[in-house]
Amino acid sequence: MITQRTRGLPLMVIVVGIAIAALTTPLVIAAQEEGVPDIPAGYYGEITIDDEPADIGVTVEAEIDGEIRGSIAITEEGKYGSFEGGGERLTVEGHPDDPSDAEVVFYLDSDDFDRTKITDTDPETVIWESQDIQQIDLDVSDVDDRSPVVDEVTVNPDTTVDPSEEDNVAVTFSYSSIGPAIDPAKTDVEITINGTEVASNERVTIQVTETTTEVTIDSLKSNETIDLTLTVVDIEGNEATETVNITAKDPSSGSNGGNGGSSDRGGGGGGGNLPADLRIPTLGSGADQTAAETGDEIEFTLRLQNDGDMAGTENVTLRANGESIISEEIRVISGYEAEHTFRHVFTEPGEYEITAEGETFSEAVIETVSITGDPIDDPESEEISSEDGPVGGGGVSTDTDSLPGFGALITVLVLIFVTGVTIFQFGRK
């Protein structure tokens, strides 16, 4: 009995060894196919803007193939990251599908200026490598400060005034700055009445602050045309403009065409006030850059003028070579222009004619831009899985065949069971 068990023991050891090998081999192969995750690279160094140390709070970003792979905020003037052990660095992740010569491209971003690509680095070219720790000095020039923004224009009572009922009109321009502070001393409003420029006098009162400019014009006269052009300037000299047109209408000359209605927006039988009449002026629209790379964000500025007597809201569509890329609503107060900014990221290289089209005005060419670089994935086209299963390849599959080694595990368990039964029967003999 003892002899039989001793003879069966080596056979059992061999079978168990084969079973363990068969069980672990598919898992090892699966791990090799998926690849071991790369260890991020870490960068640090000096950073200057227009040959001056970069300010605290500015953010340094690193991109590979148009995708942000890491960022760090400057906490010491003129430096980002640290060489010291345990110090924070600009950590840049790699992807298994990145090419071996994947280049790291650096950008600066701040509340005080637009996101800017850094073209002057030392060393000149930075190739991503796993576990790479090195000093990369950065210098950027020609940073575009963010200009002030005119947020709102309020006209009281309206841009068309009846002097027999109202003898004054008040205009309030509200503005803000996401960059350098507004300079009230440089901010100015130009006023013309019937084509003649006027300054503050007994009829015109102007008050300028860091957030608003208020203009009051008294003693309105019939058939006066008043044009106001605000130029708001920040301490760095960046500026924004806004224009308002006001008409003092003579009731005797603005007939209602006979037996018109009494509505203050025009009667049923005659002239009345015109509805919103939107158009794109000849000047003022365009792009902040006409040559860019795939993945870069481009700002398209559109100016709309309302020649009607009513405020209007227009759904405006921006097209690239005839294909819609973005649609947004723009509201324009009667009698003046409004400026709206669209933002778009191109994922394919090529020449694109950018046009704008509204519900009430015909298509107009805004700009032509040239995009270079390799095609990239659309940053907004994230794959989302639904409750019913994967969508577009996303989601999680419940198919057991997709689990590495699962089929082999069943096979090994069956093998162990059969072998064990065989040995047991052998031992009884």
For 285-339, how does the pLDDT look when each residue is reduced to its tens digit (9 = 90+)? 788 888 899 999 999 888 888 777 677 788 889 899 989 999 888 887 766 677 8
Arithmetic mean of pLDDT, 238-242: 88
Residue 270 lies in a domain: no
Q: Residue 362 is part of which domain span?
A: 286-372
Please tell me whether residues 105 and 123 are part of one structural domain.
yes
Arithmetic mean of pLDDT, 186-215: 90
Arithmetic mean of pLDDT, 341-355: 91
Residue 399 lies in a domain: no
Residue 393 lies in a domain: no
Task: Report pLDDT for 17.
Answer: 60
Task: Report pLDDT for 85.
Answer: 73
Please state, for a pLDDT cut of 70, what percent of the chain lies above it: 70
Alpha helices in 105-261 (DSSP H): none
Q: Are strands 350-357 and 133-135 parallel, antiparallel or unpaired?
A: unpaired
Task: Report pLDDT for 392.
Answer: 35
Confidence of residue 129 (pLDDT cuts 50, 70, 90): very high
Listed residues 140, 158, 175: the one ending a domain: 140
Residue 267 lies in a domain: no
Please tell me whether residues 205 and 238 are part of one structural domain.
yes
Instruction: Compute the Cα dihedral for 173, 179, 181, 184 and give only its sign.
Output: negative
DSSP for 278-346?
EE--SSS-EES-SEEETT-EEEEEEEEEE-SSS-EEEEEEEEETTEEEEEEEEEE-TTBEEEEEEEEE-
The number of distinct structural domains making up the chain is: 4
User: Is pLDDT above 80 for 93?
Assistant: yes
Please tell me whether residues 168 and 243 are part of one structural domain.
yes
Confidence of residue 84 (pLDDT cuts 50, 70, 90): confident
Please tell me whether residues 196 and 244 are part of one structural domain.
yes
Q: What's the CA gap between 163 and 271, in Å, rounded?
A: 18
Task: Report pLDDT for 385.
Answer: 37
Q: Comparing 26-40, 229-243, 342-356, which segment has the lowest mean pLDDT?
A: 26-40
Please tell me whether residues 153 and 247 are part of one structural domain.
yes
Listed residues 140, 159, 174: the one ending a domain: 140
Q: Is 423 helix (H, G, I), strand (E, B) or coil?
A: helix
Please tell me whether residues 48 and 31 are part of one structural domain.
no
Residue 208 lies in a domain: yes
Query: Whole-number mean pLDDT of the chain?
Result: 77
Residue 392 lies in a domain: no
Task: Report pLDDT for 393.
Answer: 38
Listed residues 233, 254, 275: the one ending a domain: 254
Cα angle vertex 249, ends 246, 255, to 5°?
Answer: 145
Please tell me whether residues 58 and 101 are part of one structural domain.
yes
Let me know: does 89 contact 81? Beta carbons within 8 Å.
Answer: yes
Q: Is 83 helix (H, G, I), strand (E, B) or coil?
A: coil
Token couple for 335: 């009698």
Q: Is 138 helix (H, G, I), strand (E, B) or coil?
A: strand
Task: Report pLDDT for 183.
Answer: 93
Please tell me whether residues 130 and 155 are part of one structural domain.
no
Q: What is the CATH number of the domain that holds 185?
A: 2.60.40.10
Cross-strand partners of 70: 62
User: Is pLDDT above 70 for 417?
Assistant: no
Q: Comparing 22-26, 90-94, 124-128, 196-200, which segment has the lowest mean pLDDT?
A: 22-26
User: Is pLDDT above 70 for 276?
Assistant: no
Arithmetic mean of pLDDT, 15-39: 57
Please tell me whether residues 296 and 235 are part of one structural domain.
no
242-271: pLDDT as tens digits: 999 999 886 655 434 333 333 333 333 333
Please tell me whether residues 184 and 112 are part of one structural domain.
no
Please tell me whether residues 28 and 51 are part of one structural domain.
no
Task: Report pLDDT for 331.
Answer: 80
Residue 358 lies in a domain: yes
Residue 275 lies in a domain: no
Q: What's the CA gap between 208 and 188, in Å, rounded?
A: 8
